[in-house]
């Protein structure tokens, strides 16, 4: 995008931006271009001006993404902090844009005595990510609450869609080609005040069972049918196992922990090693929940 076109934008554009600054594993090579829109109209303007064949990658809090050491070609769009509109609309639904953190939406619902979204407080990510992967925790899933969504395409056009327009499954949503979530309307139930203890209970449950405060992506693998990935990994004797500078958490076996010396290739190699071991021992194929993007160094 040339200088005059950039001057019309109100968001920030960075070049050769280290993705290690934007992922919860703190690893990843540079993005060619990194755009942080000021708001939804700014994002529309940016996409409208962008070359049609430019590769696009979207990132929220970077908590469910492994960026390879070679980085990301094309553009990374980061709506966090820009797409942040949050309100109860005239239909009684909670309207939340995709750059909002899940925890902020959970607490907004609590403040307005709405129940059903408490579990979002335990998912480290944004609404955009929760919609994209049908994120869930404590027996609840995002798309159980969705009334409708707003999408944006490569031309910057907005499209309103209903739940029926999508193929939805466990940790999976099939999106239309070259469309991305920018907002959703969630239908929740009215509840009596005082639900704060439920959120605190869920967060305490998460803190007790997960390595909170250590660099990870959350759960690495989806749970196979009628089983749990953490249980399989632990049963294989891999809890605490390290490969290179990446280690399986000794607190929760479905978490991989990084440190200052870890590279993305260490994490990816450990993921592959876990999958191979579980396949050999239990004849079960573990599917990754984490999204792996970018190029090898």
Tens of pLDDT, residues 148-165: 999 999 999 999 999 999
Asked, for residue 28, whether it belongs to a domain, the answer is yes
Asked if residue 162 is part of any domain, the answer here is: yes
**Residue 23 in domain:** yes
Residue that terminates a domain, selected from 77, 112, 131: 77
Residue 30 falls inside a structural domain: yes
Domain that holds residue 114: 86-190
Marked catalytic residue, from 17, 45, 118, 289 = 289
**Helix (H), strand (E) at residue 72:** strand 72-77
Going by C-alpha positions, the residue among 60, 92, 53 that lies closest to residue 76 is 60
Q: In terms of domains, do 219 and 182 share one? A: no
pTM of the model: 0.91
Domain-ending residue, one of 27, 54, 77: 77
- The CATH number of the domain holding residue 60 is 3.30.43.10
Kindly state whether residue 197 falls inside one of the protein's structural domains.
Answer: no
Q: Are residues 285 and 218 in the same domain?
A: yes
> Where among 77, 103, 119 does a domain terminate?
77
Same domain, 178 and 240: no
- Token couple for 16: 């050769």
- The predicted structure's pLDDT at residue 212: 86
Residue 203 resides in a domain = no
178/238 same-domain check: no
**In the chain, alpha helices (H):** 3-7, 40-49, 102-111, 127-133, 196-209, 229-235, 264-282
Read off the pLDDT band of 72 (50, 70, 90). very high
Q: Which of 171, 185, 206, 263 is catalytic?
A: 171
Question: Do residues 119 and 181 both lie within one domain?
Answer: yes
| Residue 1 pLDDT > 60 | no
Query: Which pLDDT tens digit goes with each residue over 169-180?
Result: 999 999 999 999
Read off the pLDDT of residues 257-277 as tens digits, 9 standing for 90 and up.
999 999 999 999 999 999 999
Closest Cα partner for 117 from 106, 131, 102, 104?
Answer: 106
94 and 184 both lie in a single domain: yes
Domain containing residue 220: CATH number: 3.90.78.10
Q: 253 and 233 in contact (C-beta within 8 Å)?
A: yes
Question: How many domains in the chain?
Answer: 3
> Is 266 a domain residue?
yes
Statement to judge: residues 157 and 241 lie in one domain: no
133 and 96 both lie in a single domain: yes
289 is catalytic: yes
SS3 call for 97: strand
Q: Which residues contact 56 (CB under 8 A, 6 or more apart)?
A: 74, 75, 77, 154, 180
pLDDT digit string, tens, across residues 128-150: 999 999 998 878 899 999 999 99
> For residue range 6-39, what is the model confidence (pLDDT) as tens digits?
668 999 999 999 999 999 999 999 999 999 999 9
Active site annotation includes 197: no
DSSP string of 191-223?
Answer: --S-THHHHHHHHHHHHHHS-TTSS--S--BPP
Report how far residue 284's alpha carbon sits from residue 266's, in angstroms, rounded to the nearest whole number.
23
- If asked whether residues 52 and 97 sit together in one domain, one would say no
Predicted confidence (pLDDT) at residue 192 exceeds the cutoff of 70: no
pLDDT by residue (tens digit) across 196-222?
A: 557 777 778 777 778 888 999 999 999
Please list the residues that pair with 86 across neighbouring strands.
Answer: 96
Same domain (yes/no): 140, 55: no
Q: Is the pLDDT of residue 49 over 90?
A: yes
- Verify that 95 and 179 share a domain, yes or no: yes
Catalytic residue among 103, 148, 219, 249: 219
What is the C-alpha to C-alpha distance for residues 278 and 285, in angstroms, rounded to an integer?
Answer: 7
Pair 216, 285 in one domain: yes
Residue 131: CATH number of its domain: 3.30.465.10
Note the pLDDT of residue 75: 98
Contact status, residue 94 vs residue 105, Cβ threshold 8 Å: yes
Distance separating alpha carbons of residues 68 and 72, to the nearest angstrom: 8
Rounded Cα distance, 110 and 194, in Å:
8
Compute the C-alpha angle 278/230/295, nearest 5°.
70
200, part of any domain: no
């Amino acid at each position: 995008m040339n200088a005059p076109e950039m001057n019309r934008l109100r968001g920030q554009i960075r070049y050769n931006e280290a993705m290690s600054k934007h992922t919860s594993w703190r690893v990843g090579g540079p993005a060619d271009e990194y755009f942080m829109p000021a708001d939804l109209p700014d994002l529309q303007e940016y996409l409208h001006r962008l070359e049609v064949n430019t590769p696009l990658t979207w990132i929220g809090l970077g908590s469910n993404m492994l960026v390879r050491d070679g980085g990301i070609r094309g553009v990374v769009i980061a709506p966090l902090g820009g797409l942040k509109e949050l309100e109860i609309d005239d239909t009684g639904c909670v309207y939340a844009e995709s750059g909002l953190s899940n925890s902020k939406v959970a607490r907004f619902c609590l403040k307005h005595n709405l129940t059903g979204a408490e579990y979002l407080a335990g998912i480290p990510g944004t609404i955009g990510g929760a919609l994209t992967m049908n994120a869930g925790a404590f027996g609840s899933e995002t798309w159980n609450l969705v009334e409708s969504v707003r999408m944006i395409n490569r031309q910057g056009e907005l499209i309103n869609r209903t739940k029926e327009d999508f193929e939805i499954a466990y940790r999976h949503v099939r999106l239309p080609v070259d469309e991305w979530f920018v907002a959703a309307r969630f239908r929740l139930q009215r509840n009596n005040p005082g639900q704060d203890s439920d959120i605190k209970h869920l967060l305490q449950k998460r803190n007790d069972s997960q390595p909170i405060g250590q660099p990870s992506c959350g759960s690495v693998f989806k749970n196979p049918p009628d089983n749990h990935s953490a249980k399989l990994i632990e049963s294989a004797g891999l809890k605490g196992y390290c490969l290179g500078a990446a280690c399986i958490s000794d607190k929760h076996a479905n978490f991989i922990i990084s440190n200052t010396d870890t590279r993305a290739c260490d994490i990816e190699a450990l993921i592959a090693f876990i999958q191979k071991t579980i396949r050999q021992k239990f004849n079960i194929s573990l599917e990754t929940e984490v999204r792996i993007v970018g190029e090898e160094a």
